[in-house]
Structure 1
């Protein structure tokens, strides 16, 4: 059995935010929204980019499913179904990354970086293969997202760790 951790901190040593109190004259706890930094615009832009990429994957999965249902020739039907499942699961994962990044968790930053590296890996050959518009549509948001992932404001805001799950 596990017990919740005991808090031995002295409330008088908590950081104070000028002009904000919890009504009793004391400063709010460090995990409260008053102490947390406000959401920088870069986090919103980054979440929108990742959400747009997830939507693009969802559209691609829908198109792939329509092609599969209408009888487009495939080498392996179950391989095509597996590819469709991968597209849908990756889109769901990217939606989760965008949502939790917007809320300020730290784990989605790694997921967003990996997704952008995948997009860059596909975007460069697309661009050099003669599909200029599609290549730029992949490369520009991915480069912007990578730059924003290392922005100081994003790093500062996206530093919340998930809480421990409740014990039985």
Structure 2
């Protein structure tokens, strides 16, 4: 009496036609696997990357809320010096918010370029947070300074640097 196969993929109808082509080859010769949704890949992501991405995403959301408030003030007829200057400021708020969301997303995916973007954003937050703290709004100042300082420190963690080292994959320009 024969035993049924233990692995359902070993059944004759379930075998991949290309499986015979790779029989006997080592893993370096095999084509790369798509690990986009693989839990093993996400398990390697350091917690510091998640914290940095969360800080950046929350800053982007705060800018989006500020842009919404600015837009409602602009539409209700709040006095402005220059209407087109106010529209330009609104555009800058929206563009910076979208940019920060992209930085957070691609940092979570392990690309290397968002580290620089996140650092620049945190330096901007520091330049606004210190005057806010010393200008009589200590809670708002601390709410800006503490996450920005934590993100700056975590950006230089060796595990974050090792994780965020993926290149975009496009060929060089020259």
> What is the TM-score of this pair, normalised by structure 1?
0.79
RMSD: 2.7
Structure 1, unaligned runs of 5 or more = 1-21
**Structure 1 position 131 matched with structure 2 position 137:** yes
Higher fraction of helix: 2
| Residues 1:114 and 2:120 are matched in the alignment | yes
1:50 and 2:85 equivalent? no
Aligned equivalents of 1:131 and 1:92: distance in 2? 27
Structure 1 residue 159 corresponds to structure 2 residue 165: yes
Deviation at residue 70 of structure 1 after TM alignment: 0.5
Rg: which structure is higher?
A: 2
Q: TM-score, normalised by structure 2?
A: 0.76
Which segment drifts farther, 32-41 or 50-59? Answer: 32-41
- Name the structure 2 match of 1:26: 26
Following TM superposition, the consecutive aligned residue runs of length 4 or more in structure 1 with deviations greater than 3 angstroms are 22-25, 28-37
Q: Given the superposition, is the C-alpha separation of residues 26 and 92 from structure 1 closer, same or farther in structure 2, using an over 3 Å criterion?
A: same
Q: CA shift at 1:25, angstroms?
A: 6.2
Gaps of 5+ in 2: 1-21
The count of aligned residue pairs is: 146
